[in-house]
Amino acid sequence: MLAEYPKGKDLGGKAVAEIADRVLPALTAAMNLLKKQDPAEAGNFRSAVLVAVETAQIHQDGPSPTMAEMARKITEALDAARITAADSGAVPEAAAGQDRPELQKAIEEIVESGFAGVSLRVHDERGEWAGSAGVAELGGTAKPPINGHVRIGSNTKTFTATLVLQLVAEGKIGLDVPAADYLPEFGLDRRITVRMLLQHTSGVFNFSGELHHDGTVAPGIPIPYGTTGKEWVDNRFKTHRPEELVRLALSKPARFEPGTDWSYSNTNYVLARLLIEKVAGRSLAEEMQRRILGPLGLSGTVVPDASPEIPEPYAHAYYRYEDADRQQTLDVTRHNPSWISTGGDMISTTQDLHTFISALNGGKLLPAELLAEMRTPHPTGIPKMGYGLGVFVQDTGCGGTVITHNGALVGSAALMYSTPDGSKTLTASLNCVDDADLSIAAAFQNAQQRLVNEVFCGGQTDPAQPTH
């Protein structure tokens, strides 16, 4: 393509975009040919092209909208060719050569336990396997798309913590510096450090509500669970700004003195978002695209802020609630996720989650010393599970350790597990009918345990897995 281009003519702006558009059909054709002849080589080809694109972006003097758009188009073309059967829920050719009946059986049994649908992706020493079970939509027959988009809930925290640690690596943020030095407008306790935000040891009230040890609940904003379900439904397209969520949390008593205990709080990660935006001078979405999504080619991952949209294809999420003494079941796939903000608002795919968690644990996103800090577990009170900086460090119960987070958001959930070297991963998306009583909770915990057992413990029965 370049050889045919007029010598001496400027290759900036539209010219680069035009060349990229001409390259795309060739890339797609190459992927399709390789998939038929050698599926493993198709994956290698995709990786090689993405490395070249990433290298070209790194060598730019500064962020280039044209280069970013070209990278997006190339990544989308490769992904579209790689998983042409995503809409139908069929197994991609790269995975079809492997007979993994134990994995298919596991997800079918998870559906039988109460979920509408499950999509699972496993990368291990046997290669890649992907499959789905159940339905994408109540009343329908189509399976969930294998690489469909899903609201990933608290997996958002791992992406956010990675961004903060990249800024730490550049000397723009200090892990043990008071968060108030970066965000003076909130009057934070000066004993609260950036590390405490990422580690959930700040003691700051959780704006989505606190469950105390005695079983009492201290409410925050209206959420789909507990007594505020109907109120959440009625306001599910309302926009909440992150500053508003933080100020609500800071108006409540702290859970404990900073650094003296551990308590999971979404507020910590909304503060982390505001910290990133203040230091970087860009929106979280822009910084995420520039530092993680673009370089890794995560074309299916979205930082939605206040947008209710979710890209197709996707499996539907539902919420059951009582209205005038009648039970209603509502499709809540579209809703404004700003009520949870960086506590759990991102959208992704099982392929992107695999790419991200594998790259993170493989040392491609953080210097070794900061990756070690990230994965140093702090006691949580949860058996066999500590919390680092944006990740859980879990004892599998069969002699191994996995780095994980997982997350759920009103009728949908996403799982993300990796061995510490990033060589084996399990990613999954689940859709269900949620409700104010979290009736699906036990099935969700059992699903996590079942899949970890199959993938990381060789199918051992009941190695007493912790859940979260």
Q: Are 130 and 121 within 8 A, CB to CB?
A: yes
Residue 18 confidence (pLDDT): 66
Residue that wins the pLDDT comparison between 193 and 13: 193
Question: What would you report as the CA-atom Rg of the chain, rounded to the nearest whole angstrom?
Answer: 22
Q: What is the mean pLDDT of the chain?
A: 88
Q: How far is CA 346 from CA 135, 242, 292, 304, 341, in A?
A: 23, 14, 13, 6, 8
pLDDT in tens, 400-457: 999 999 999 999 999 999 999 999 999 999 999 999 999 999 999 999 999 999 999 9
Question: Which residues, at least 6 apart from 61, have a Cβ–Cβ distance to it below 8 Å?
Answer: none
Judged against a pLDDT cut of 90, whether residue 45 lies above it is answered with no
Residue that wins the pLDDT comparison between 233 and 26: 233
Rounded Cα–Cα distance for residues 39 and 75 (Å): 18
The CATH number of 150-456, from 3.40.710.10, 3.30.9.60, 3.40.50.12170, 3.40.50.2300, is 3.40.710.10
For the chain, give the percent of residues with pLDDT over 90: 73
Query: Mapping DSSP to helix (H, G, I), strand (E, B) and coil, where does residue 418 land?
Result: strand
pLDDT band for position 99 (cuts 50, 70, 90):
confident
Query: Mapping DSSP to helix (H, G, I), strand (E, B) and coil, where does residue 11 land?
Result: coil
β-pair type (433-435, 318-323): parallel
Question: Which residues, at least 6 apart from 89, have a Cβ–Cβ distance to it below 8 Å?
Answer: 119, 132, 136, 142, 143, 144, 145, 146
- pTM > 0.85: no
Give the mean pLDDT of 76-88: 55
Judged against a pLDDT cut of 80, whether residue 257 lies above it is answered with yes
Rounded Cα–Cα distance for residues 361 and 369 (Å): 12
Judged against a pLDDT cut of 50, whether residue 67 lies above it is answered with yes
Domain boundaries, the chain: 14-82, 150-456
- Encoded tokens for 142: 């189509």
Give the mean pLDDT of 115-144: 97
- For 161, the enclosing helix (H) or strand (E) is helix 156-169
pLDDT in tens, 278-321: 999 999 999 999 999 999 999 999 999 999 999 999 999 999 99
Rounded Cα–Cα distance for residues 297 and 51 (Å): 9
Residue 465 confidence (pLDDT): 43
Determine the longest span between alpha carbons in the chain, in angstroms.
75
Residue 273 confidence (pLDDT): 98
Judged against a pLDDT cut of 80, whether residue 80 lies above it is answered with no
pLDDT band for position 345 (cuts 50, 70, 90):
very high
Nearest by Cα to 303 from 120, 147, 152: 152
Q: How far is CA 55 from CA 31, 59, 110, 462, in A?
A: 21, 6, 41, 45
Judged against a pLDDT cut of 80, whether residue 378 lies above it is answered with yes
145 preceded by a cis bond (ω within 30 of 0):
no
**Angle at 153 (CA atoms; ends 413, 75), nearest 5 degrees:** 90
Q: How far is CA 107 from CA 144, 258, 326, in A?
A: 12, 41, 32
Judged against a pLDDT cut of 60, whether residue 95 lies above it is answered with no
Judged against a pLDDT cut of 60, whether residue 155 lies above it is answered with yes
Residue that wins the pLDDT comparison between 248 and 213: 248
Q: Count Cβ atoms within 10 A of the Cβ of residue 238 and give its class: 0-12 exposed, 13-18 middle, 19 or more buried.
A: middle
- Encoded tokens for 22: 């001409």
